[in-house]
Amino acid sequence: VDECINSNCEHLCTNTNGSYICSCTDGYSLDANGRNCSDINECSVDNGGCEQVCTNEEPFYSCSCYSGFRLYNDRFCSDIHECVEEISGCSQVCINTIGSYTCNCQTGFLLSSDNHTCIDIDECLVDNGGCEQICENTNGSRNCLCNNGYAKNGNNCTDIDECNFENNGCSQLCTNSLGSYSCGCLTGFALSSDMFNCTDINECESDNGGCSHLCVNTFGSYQCQCYNGYQSDDNNCIEINECLADNGGCEQVCTNTNGSFQCSCYSGYFGSVFCS
């Protein structure tokens, strides 16, 4: 008689001579009652042979890995090199670690709160970036610049003496100043509207140049001259007494006049210069 036909075995029944034996399919063990089967927790013994994570399932189990690792040969775990595989999402520098990675930034950048993106550091916000005059922020760095009239010397600025270069276009005088310069003129000249060239001042146009008689303008100056019969004394003219020298050329009487003289004769004589 095949007792397995009416047996109470939960899984498998094997007929024997005069009886039968219950057994279980793979992944199960026979209970003490000899009939029922219970799932075997393979993970309870040596972690199921898994290197990292063992998950019991009915009727078997599975191995898996922690985040940052990849399963191989169904049991073992190898580190995922997120940087080499370019799956990190780091915007600049990726540093692999066992089971993970970290993002970093190049000089001049700061790691943002998402720990992946790098934000440019504006170096100019702190102490003007160490620049003496102008700080220009760039992507990952900064440039030091100088105002007009200055030359860059590292982070510092040195005044350019514009007058050293062909008088910097000034026609006469060039005066250097910090960051700039100015053109000037010699005495007797005035700076023109272009602020470079000098034009002669006609001193005679203002109060006759201070001359008492004639004012003659010259390039950059002027001269005072006197009418005939006068001699110059600086800007003034002094009347010449012609009669003092050889009686003015008169034979008898020399009469000095303003700017001239007259010859005449004594009473009883006729003539002007010469008398008879």
Convert the pLDDT of each residue in 116-159 to its tens digit.
999 999 999 999 999 999 999 999 999 999 999 999 999 999 99
Write down the pLDDT at residue 143.
97
- On the question of pLDDT at 166 being above 80, the answer is yes
Distance CA 85, CA 71 (A): 16
Q: Which of 142-151, 191-200, 230-239 has the lowest mean pLDDT?
A: 230-239
Closest CA to 266 of 258, 255, 166, 37: 255
Write down the pLDDT at residue 259.
82
**Angle CA 60–61–65, to nearest 5:** 165
pLDDT band at 234 (very low <50, low <70, confident <90, very high): confident
DSSP characters over 210-254: G-SSEEEEETTEEEEE--TTEEEETTEEEE--GGGTGGGG-SSEE
The residue-averaged pLDDT of 73-91 equals 97
Write down the pLDDT at residue 116.
98
Q: Which tokens sit at 159?
A: 């005044």
The residue-averaged pLDDT of 73-82 equals 97
Distance CA 102, CA 23 (A): 53
- On the question of pLDDT at 213 being above 80, the answer is yes
Q: What is the mean pLDDT of the chain?
A: 94
DSSP characters over 107-129: TTEEE-TTSS-EEE--GGGTGGG
Closest CA to 235 of 251, 221, 223, 252: 223
- On the question of pLDDT at 206 being above 80, the answer is yes
The residue-averaged pLDDT of 228-247 equals 88
The residue-averaged pLDDT of 65-93 equals 97
What is the CATH architecture assignment of 242-276? Ribbon (2.10)
Distance CA 183, CA 175 (A): 6
- On the question of pLDDT at 91 being above 90, the answer is yes
Whole-number Cα distances in Å, 62 to 10, 66, 216: 25, 13, 119
CB count within 10 Å of CB 170 equals 21
For the chain, the domains span: 242-276
The residue-averaged pLDDT of 62-71 equals 97
- Amino acid letter, 90: C
113 near 125, Cβ under 8 Å?
A: no
